[in-house]
Structure 1
């Protein structure tokens, strides 16, 4: 590995300085470990970063203000957790990347239900349908270190959760926020619940809007968006440990994309869910949880709603593509406790159907019949145990087995010159085992450490089987030739607490057999063609954080994150560069302030013309540093005002994981990364009742 001078400087800075103001909350696990239960809530006003609360586990409150101010999508909220980055495409709806891993290597759940986008190029990845501030808790488990929430999550698991608003007496609760900022940014969020000890009603909604932003050199970047979501739930609570809840969610959006040939004209989402939970039963059987869900998305991409067709492009006429996905599934799990043992076991399942239609002409797609092209089904069984060896030592382990099948329903392949599909009507199935074992020592004490090894096998997803132009050499197509991924990974970490100093580190090293790689093979009438194939890869990296309180009301913090990957052919593509976040914050009475310096190293470990379904390595990228400030005033426990300036010095920069600007917006034919926003001011009011 090439070590840049900046890399050494960043490492020294983090070791000598200090994780940015963490927002910790106790996760609502059915069987919380002692080290999790001991976590306390801190009073940070603006979230600059998040520290782990347990081995490989991070928890934060999505309702808290953050800096930089995030777009109204899930991926931007994840970036405050060390190890996360985003494959950028403009103002909103970036694709989350965890430790350099992308796509279905990350399990993304909302209220424990799976949600999937529909665009063959992931314009509408699952996080683009999420309104984070309408959720109560964001939980991230890094690595294959749990089997409770689905198979194949080799990079990690992300859960956006809503708590049960139990009322011990009749009452009403409300909380929300309003935000205004540069580029006509304006957001409104309201979360209202009312209930009695026997039940409740909860309604949450948000609206978010922004115009195109200007980069650090004053150039306008097509990036505008407008979104709304409405969520409702009604619950029966015969006691504080029992709930039966019915929920319904809906939303829509539109977004301009500087890095794509089309924009998102519709992001319609409709969801239904039913869940039952019974905790603290009192015997060996301690808890039971079950849920079923149905998520449907309807996504329209076109080149005329938010832009004018470019007569010099490969799509000179008005055209649109309409895609959809319906995912439904469920889960049932029970937890048993006996002496020093806790075991959670259950089954889960999911099925999804993908459909599409397209047409030339404005609105003409509405008259075209839907065509179903793919059908996925997965059924899994799992068991996870926690053995309390004593107060300080714990052994966790888990095992799951999934049976996954996929059907190719395409009659033809190709768009410009459709050809008969050689795998039409075929079905393929795989049995996919996974599991882990982890030892933890005194994670709630002064000095704790953990080490675990996990294994996950993943069925290729829709984008890996149906989006590539070609499959591996000798295969009829990607559906016929791309094999499942198999990841085996070691995760280890330590944490130290003493007085006003806290420090933590987590590292990982793994082997991915049959990693699914995309080759970009040159141009054509519709742009580059792609080939999906399997290669073996080695991965490694980690995160380091320090949090120091040198005086009353003052905190200095820092975090460092690095990810590395290699194949026999060279560097693994689409890997984020070394990144550090250094922050300082303080509180005095009702006032608070914070400063964040984000430093990103240059990245020259690239494999141009290789990548994933969204994009490829565009070549080496330059390093950059961005400085931001915030301040806040707490009028009361129920009302607080925060304000900030992101990119205070109006730096011109772009992220390494990025798309090239589209020629329809005047970007050059040579690949040019989309620039990030210049100086951005914002003010946010949070309230509760």
Structure 2
């Protein structure tokens, strides 16, 4: 679990779950198997291996992109595709391979190139916590090839009195490197039976600065507001919530188009709790509606010429339903559950200067998944275990694309061939996971084994028009789909231990993932660069005569990550994370694409009374093991240094400040996307650089 208490405290650090404080974990039964990043103020002591001694506070400037917070966990990283479009990478996997949710709700992103990955809808200023499944997500969370990350936004909490009492939390931040500001908070009324809450946030930032100038086209603007309520009945709760997220023009330099708007509505409700002694029930229904426009006119500098002007409209609707019945307590139970997801998408590419030019690149795309699972937690001798299995049935289909009169013959021919194809697919997948650990004492060994699957996305299967849409890879390559794709199957083994005593917390993990039918972009045919097919001809018209087709390959990912906390003195704490991952193709001699380099994060924090001071160093190694298939360039290593401080005026009011990239280091993270903006100090085709030196200040209040 990544626990980021919005206002209660002062630290944001990649820390082991032993360091969690404030409220108890959202799912205590998952405590041995979750990771924690925390923003908090007070130290407490817990005996659970997932939340033991609190690390002394850390601080960083909260990024607008919540994925950058999740990336601080051991094994985490981020695809830098813009201020609001980053994708969480975990142990070398990203995109749809890592399950992303907000307030426990699954949904389909609206952008065909994932400009709105799940955590786009979780403003950092409103985050209560981010829960990251440790290594292997349990089958109860749904299908996911890699881990799972759930961002929980701040909400009203039940009070300990019968009368309604107010709850208020507010936070605001200014960051100089992009002249950005963010403000958000919660206003609520709650009693021991009822809770009502209103949340809202506003974020806005300009193009950020780096040592070589300004990264033009990186400005952003987003609003979010919502209401929620809960009624506590017995040992359970009836709950309902609604949120509206409005992203206004925001830059995405790695993409051909920028965000003009995302207007997205979230609704969900249900019941969670006990219905009888040792019998728990969870029921949840939800709907998410995304309406999206992107273009190369509103923000892009210079704007595209009239013939190349594009405005793409995209809609995505998701309906979800889930139910689970559990027999037993948190430490020993048997659970049976079922869930369903229904997705509808529609994407139309237009030329705003020519009404006769339009292409339905994803017409009436439908995907339906129905699944069920069994999960058992118990004890075998001195060891505890969690064993689960699930089955899912997935059906996908695509309608008939319509094209305008101004569309040339090349795309028309591809559309005709696509119409004549099957345009549908059906898959049945099986997942299984077993996790074992031996509690008791300072040392807790643990072992996980799993078989996890992922069905090809509708983009990977049905992208009939060669475009740069690749679910956020943002590498400048043009991709086309493949209806013959089989589901990915990962065989996973990981082992490690938790060591916790009064002065040291250490949690290393070594892992191996063997992935059959791994989906990768590969050369369209055996003669790359020779335009001898209609697909290559159309791709050449779009600027790349060497398109890639999604195909099944074989791959392996293996590595080591750890986090630690050292407490040599009562007022001093040293903490950090280290991550190393290696990704290889097993069918050919090549490396996997966009694998993060080895990295290390170290921090030192000194605290006395109401004052806290600290420093943090982040170092990334060179990355020379890159994908030749995807023309991936290597990257250089770098080191950045930040300073931070906090002063608590009272228990509910604190001022926080810091300096990021103190040495003004010029660097470009390996997973950053490549800039497509011509009128920028970042050369076209170069990786987006990291931000330069800047100051930030934040105020937090609660009462």
The verdict on a shared fold, with TM-score over 0.5 as the criterion, is yes
For residues 60 and 410 of structure 1, what CA distance do their matches in structure 2 show? 57
Greater shift in the superposed pair: 539-548 or 404-413: 404-413
Q: Structure 1 232/384 Cα, relative in aligned 2: closer, same or farther at 3 Å?
A: same
Quick one: which of 124, 146, 153 aligns to 1:155? 146
For residues 108 and 377 of structure 1, what CA distance do their matches in structure 2 show? 18
Quick one: which of 100, 103, 107 aligns to 2:92? 100
Alignment match, 1:505:
508
Quick one: which of 549, 552, 563 aligns to 1:534? 552
Shift of 1:644: 0.9
SS of 1:464's partner is helix
* 1:263 matches 2:258: yes
* 1:662 matches 2:657: no
Question: What are the ranges of 5 or more consecutive residues in structure 1 without an aligned counterpart?
Answer: 1-17, 611-616
TM-score (norm: length of structure 1): 0.86
Alignment match, 2:111:
119
Greater shift in the superposed pair: 652-661 or 526-535: 526-535
Quick one: which of 156, 166, 175 aligns to 1:181? 175
Alignment match, 1:451:
447
Q: Structure 1 144/210 Cα, relative in aligned 2: closer, same or farther at 3 Å?
A: same
Greater shift in the superposed pair: 195-204 or 582-591: 195-204
Quick one: which of 211, 215, 220 aligns to 1:225? 220
- Contact 2:444–2:498 (CA<8 Å) still a contact in 1? yes
Shift of 1:519: 3.0
Matches within 5 A, 1:80-95: 80-95=72-87
Shift of 1:556: 1.0
Alignment match, 2:102:
110
Alignment match, 2:570:
552
Shift of 1:494: 0.6
Alignment match, 2:518:
515
SS of 2:69's partner is helix
RMSD: 3.5
For residues 299 and 259 of structure 1, what CA distance do their matches in structure 2 show? 18
Alignment match, 2:496:
493
Greater shift in the superposed pair: 180-189 or 121-130: 121-130
Quick one: which of 606, 613, 617 aligns to 2:626? 606
- Contact 2:198–2:226 (CA<8 Å) still a contact in 1? yes
For residues 116 and 31 of structure 2, what CA distance do their matches in structure 1 show? 39
- Contact 2:297–2:304 (CA<8 Å) still a contact in 1? no
Q: Structure 1 249/367 Cα, relative in aligned 2: closer, same or farther at 3 Å?
A: farther
* 1:327 matches 2:315: no
Alignment match, 1:128:
120
Shift of 1:141: 0.6
* 1:406 matches 2:396: yes
Greater shift in the superposed pair: 451-460 or 254-263: 254-263
Listed one character per residue, the Cα deviations across residues 138-167 of structure 1 (whole Å, up to 9, x for unaligned) are 11113334101111x121011123566212
- Contact 2:676–2:684 (CA<8 Å) still a contact in 1? no
- Contact 2:347–2:362 (CA<8 Å) still a contact in 1? yes
Shift of 1:31: 6.0
* 1:74 matches 2:75: no
For residues 327 and 66 of structure 1, what CA distance do their matches in structure 2 show? 38
For residues 687 and 470 of structure 1, what CA distance do their matches in structure 2 show? 51
Alignment match, 1:352:
343
For residues 34 and 482 of structure 1, what CA distance do their matches in structure 2 show? 37
- Contact 2:256–2:296 (CA<8 Å) still a contact in 1? yes
- Contact 1:278–1:288 (CA<8 Å) still a contact in 2? yes
Greater shift in the superposed pair: 529-538 or 517-526: 517-526
For residues 21 and 488 of structure 1, what CA distance do their matches in structure 2 show? 26
SS of 1:587's partner is strand
Alignment match, 2:599:
579
Alignment match, 1:290:
283
Alignment match, 2:3:
none
For residues 40 and 126 of structure 1, what CA distance do their matches in structure 2 show? 18
Q: Structure 1 189/338 Cα, relative in aligned 2: closer, same or farther at 3 Å?
A: closer
* 1:483 matches 2:486: yes
For residues 647 and 307 of structure 2, what CA distance do their matches in structure 1 show? 52
For residues 49 and 403 of structure 2, what CA distance do their matches in structure 1 show? 47
Quick one: which of 687, 690, 694 aligns to 1:673? 687
- Contact 2:79–2:87 (CA<8 Å) still a contact in 1? yes
Alignment match, 2:245:
251
Greater shift in the superposed pair: 517-526 or 376-385: 517-526
Shift of 1:305: 1.4
Greater shift in the superposed pair: 659-668 or 364-373: 364-373
Alignment match, 2:533:
none
Q: Structure 1 681/655 Cα, relative in aligned 2: closer, same or farther at 3 Å?
A: same
Listed one character per residue, the Cα deviations across residues 99-128 of structure 1 (whole Å, up to 9, x for unaligned) are 111111111112221122122222222222
Matches within 5 A, 1:276-287: 276-279=271-274, 281=275, 283-285=277-279, 287=280
For residues 60 and 513 of structure 1, what CA distance do their matches in structure 2 show? 41
Q: Structure 1 233/527 Cα, relative in aligned 2: closer, same or farther at 3 Å?
A: same
For residues 372 and 208 of structure 2, what CA distance do their matches in structure 1 show? 47
Alignment match, 1:613:
none
For residues 309 and 302 of structure 2, what CA distance do their matches in structure 1 show? 6
Q: Structure 1 41/247 Cα, relative in aligned 2: closer, same or farther at 3 Å?
A: closer
Alignment match, 1:13:
none
Alignment match, 1:432:
429
Matches within 5 A, 1:587-626: 587-610=607-630, 618-626=632-640
Shift of 1:451: 0.5
Q: Structure 1 185/338 Cα, relative in aligned 2: closer, same or farther at 3 Å?
A: closer
For residues 466 and 516 of structure 2, what CA distance do their matches in structure 1 show? 21
SS of 1:108's partner is strand
For residues 480 and 219 of structure 2, what CA distance do their matches in structure 1 show? 37
TM-score (norm: length of structure 2): 0.84
Shift of 1:215: 0.8
SS of 1:197's partner is coil
For residues 605 and 105 of structure 1, what CA distance do their matches in structure 2 show? 21
SS of 2:141's partner is coil
Matches within 5 A, 1:620-635: 620-635=634-649
Shift of 1:512: 0.1
Matches within 5 A, 1:2-17: none
- Contact 1:269–1:296 (CA<8 Å) still a contact in 2? yes
Q: Structure 1 96/463 Cα, relative in aligned 2: closer, same or farther at 3 Å?
A: farther
- Contact 2:387–2:433 (CA<8 Å) still a contact in 1? yes
Quick one: which of 582, 587, 595 aligns to 1:564? 582
Q: Structure 1 311/352 Cα, relative in aligned 2: closer, same or farther at 3 Å?
A: closer
Greater shift in the superposed pair: 458-467 or 500-509: 458-467
For residues 513 and 370 of structure 1, what CA distance do their matches in structure 2 show? 29
For residues 384 and 686 of structure 1, what CA distance do their matches in structure 2 show? 41
